[in-house]
């Protein structure tokens, strides 16, 4: 039987955070503790794949793209630490490349640095696109939308259709526009 009892936890918060919690709680007509529980539960749901040790390598890309910049800044994660979080004990074909991990680590930095790295890796960035959006499209296209068994240009050249029309249209929408 699973223990369903709740446990009291003490946390330290700054004055500004406490003020904001109280303001939100007052506006919503709820208790301060409800706001804190909501913040914890919503954050845990966003980073839930990090709770599962079986989710590794390229399968961690979505959570790190969507929440990575916040995680990287708050916990001061560098490329070395990110690589161990992502690629430790991962099979060869499922690993995320070191350069892409460096891009993820840089997503916590200023956009200008990220733009320089994206230009180096992709040739150019999409005009008018935000660097974060370009990074997101690049990583999703490379690690999420791409088939895990690495069907690549060889299947296209041979005339074999390796993706469904839905997969191709999703990928074409997510690719960075090259100029």
Angle at CA 149, nearest 5°, toward 134 and 176?
A: 15
pTM of the complete model = 0.58
What's the mean per-residue pLDDT of the chain? 74
User: What are the DSSP calls for 64-88, one per residue?
Assistant: HHHHHHHHHHHHT--HHHHHHHHHT
Query: So where are the chain's domains?
Result: 14-46, 53-174
Please write the tens of the pLDDT for every residue from 13-68. 999 999 999 999 999 999 999 999 999 999 999 999 999 999 999 898 888 888 87
Is residue 117 classed as helix, strand or coil in its secondary structure?
helix
- Give the length of the chain: 179
Rounded Cα distance between 42 and 38, Å, is 6
Q: Which of 151, 153, 119 is nearest to 135 (CA)?
A: 119
Tally Cβ neighbours within 10 Å of residue 101: 22
Rounded Cα distance between 17 and 123, Å, is 42
Statement: residue 72 has pLDDT above 80:
yes
Q: Looking at residue 18, what is its pLDDT?
A: 97
Rounded Cα distance between 95 and 150, Å, is 12
HSE, CB side, 13 Å, CA atoms: give it for residue 11: 12
Q: How distant, in Å, are the alpha carbons of 28, 63, 77, 158 from that of 166?
A: 41, 23, 36, 20
Please write the tens of the pLDDT for every residue from 103-139. 888 776 555 555 555 565 555 444 445 555 677 787 7
Q: How distant, in Å, are the alpha carbons of 15, 149, 158, 159, 162 from that of 154?
A: 59, 13, 6, 9, 10
Q: Looking at residue 109, what is its pLDDT?
A: 56
Q: Looking at residue 52, what is its pLDDT?
A: 92
């Amino acid at each position: 039987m699973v223990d369903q009892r709740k446990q009291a936890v003490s946390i330290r918060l700054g004055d500004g955070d406490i003020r904001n919690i109280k303001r939100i709680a007052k506006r919503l007509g709820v208790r301060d503790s409800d706001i804190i529980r909501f913040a914890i539960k919503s954050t845990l749901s966003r980073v839930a794949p990090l709770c599962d040790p079986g989710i590794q390598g390229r399968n961690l890309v979505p959570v790190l793209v969507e929440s990575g910049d916040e995680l990287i800044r708050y916990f001061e994660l560098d490329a070395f630490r990110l690589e161990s979080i992502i690629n430790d004990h991962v099979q060869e074909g499922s690993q995320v490349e070191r350069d892409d991990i460096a891009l993820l680590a840089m997503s916590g930095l200023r956009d200008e640095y990220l733009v320089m790295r994206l230009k180096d890796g992709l040739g150019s960035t999409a005009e008018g696109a935000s660097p974060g959006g370009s990074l997101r499209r690049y990583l999703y296209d490379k690690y999420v939308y791409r088939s895990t068994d690495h069907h690549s240009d060889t299947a296209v050249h041979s005339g074999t259709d390796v993706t469904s029309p839905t997969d191709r249209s999703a990928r074409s929408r997510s690719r960075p526009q090259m100029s």
